[in-house]
Structure 1
C-alpha cells in the first residue's frame, strides 16, 4: 500500500519534469525562430500572374524580404491582394525555411466596351477590370454602340439600353461553340439590332438577342462552310426570314 503511493508520487514528479523540459525546449525553439535569420524571407515566388506585373503584386502584398516567415500573416496578404480587380483568388504558403509562395488565379477579360475614346475591359460577370486609352488586348472582342451609365473599376458596369448579363451570355456562347477567337467586334445599332464582325471579314446580322444560342449554332456551321469555300466578304443574315441566309458583298 505504502509502496504504491510512493510509486504514484515518483510518476507525478517524472511527468512534471517532462512537462517542464518540453516547455523549456518549446520556448527555446520559439526564441530561435524569432531571433535567428534562418527563417527570414529570402525569396518570394509569384505564380499564376499573366496580366499583373510581379512588382505590383509584391507592393500590394506588403511583404518585405528579411521579414520573419512565421510573423507574416498570410490572411492579411490574401485580403490585400484580393482588392486588385484582376485577382480572382489567391493562396499564400510558406516553404521553410525562407521562401514565401504567392499563387494567384487571375480574372480573364471577356469583352472591351468602347467608351469616350477609351475601352472598358470586363470579366465574365460584367465587372470592370480596367479602363484603357486604347485597345491593347487584340484577343478580346470589342463592343460598340452601347450607352454607359456607370463605369467604376471592380464594379459591375451599368448600361442604358441593355443588361450586361445578356451581352456576356452572347460572348460566352461564342466561346462554347468555338467562334469567340474569330470574333473581332460586336456592334449594337438602332432598333436594338446587333451585328457581329469576324476577323476573317464575314459579318453576322443577328437581328436581336432572342434565341441567341440557336442562332450562333447556325453561325458556327455557316462560318465553317464559308471558310472551306474561301468566302468571307458577305453577311450571314437572321433578319430576312425564319432561316439564316448568306448575302455576298454586304
Structure 2
C-alpha cells in the first residue's frame, strides 16, 4: 500500500512538472510572438480630424512606426493630445496586428473676442483655443471686459452672463443660413452685424428666438432680394421685428 502511494505521488510530481514546462513553453512562445516584427506598428489612422491635418495629429501623438504595438502607452498618448485645447476627447485603439487608430473629437472655432489689439478664439462653450493677430473668418465679438484668457481654459470676462447668452445665440445660427460678421455687446441691447452697415439690434434672447423660428432669416431674405445692405433690424419680444433704414 505504501509503495502504491509513493508511485502515485511520483506520477503527480511528473504531471505537475510536465504542465509547468508546457506553461513555460507557451509563455516563452507568446513572448517571442508578441515581440516579433509581426506586431511592429506599420500604420497610424486618424479619424474625425478637421482643424489639424492627419500628419499634424500623428506628429502630436508621438506614435512611432516600427514600435511594438503592445508597448504603446495609450493613456500617455491620450493625455498628451488632450493638452491641446482643440481636442475635446481622444480614443486610441489597437487594431492587430500592426495598426493604431486615433479617433479625435475636436472643438470648433465659434467666435473671436477682441482683446488688447488681438483676437481670442473660443469655441461654443467659451473655451479659449488660441490667440491670433489677424482677424479670423468667424464672428468677432467686441465690448467684453476680459479678465483672463488662457488656452485650454474657459474665457473669463466680467460680462459672463452676456457672453453665455451670445454663445447660445451663435449656436442657434447653426441650423440656419445666418452669419453675423461682428457682434457688439457693449450694451444690454447688442448689435449683430450682417454687413458693416446692416445691423440686427436686440437682446441675445430675442435674437435667438427669432433665429430659431425663422423670422429673422425671412426678413433678411426679403432685404437681400431687394438689394438692401444698409439699415437696422430691431428685434423685440413676441416675434417683433422692425426695420429702420438709417444707420447711426
TM-score (norm 2): 0.82
Alpha-carbon deviation of 1:31?
A: 2.2
Alignment of 1:103-118 (within 5 A): 103-118=103-118
Task: Indicate the larger mover: 78-87 or 163-172.
Answer: 163-172
Contiguous gaps of at least 5 residues in structure 2: none
Mapped pair 1:197 → 2:198: no
How far apart, CA to CA, are the structure 2 residues paired with 1:46 and 1:107?
16
Deviations 1:160-196 (A, max 9, x none): 23433222112112224x144x32111123x433111
Alpha-carbon deviation of 1:245?
A: 0.8
Alpha-carbon deviation of 1:56?
A: 4.2
How far apart, CA to CA, are the structure 2 residues paired with 1:91 and 1:243?
47
CA contact (8 A) 1:114 1:143 kept: yes
- Tell me the matched-pair count: 242
Mapped pair 1:233 → 2:230: yes
Mapped pair 1:141 → 2:139: yes
SS at match of 1:192: coil
Contiguous gaps of at least 5 residues in structure 1: none
| Counterpart residue number, 1:246 | 243
Structure 1 residues 210, 55: closer, same or farther in 2, change over 3 A? Answer: closer
CA contact (8 A) 1:117 1:134 kept: no
Alignment of 1:59-208 (within 5 A): 59-136=59-136, 138=137, 140-163=138-161, 164-176=163-175, 178-180=176-178, 182-189=179-186, 191-199=187-195, 202-206=198-202, 208=203
Alpha-carbon deviation of 1:25?
A: 1.9
What is the RMSD computed on CA atoms of the aligned residues?
Answer: 3.2
Alpha-carbon deviation of 1:248?
A: 2.2
Structure 1 residues 247, 84: closer, same or farther in 2, change over 3 A? Answer: same
Alpha-carbon deviation of 1:242?
A: 8.9
Deviations 1:120-154 (A, max 9, x none): 11112111011111123x1x211122221111111
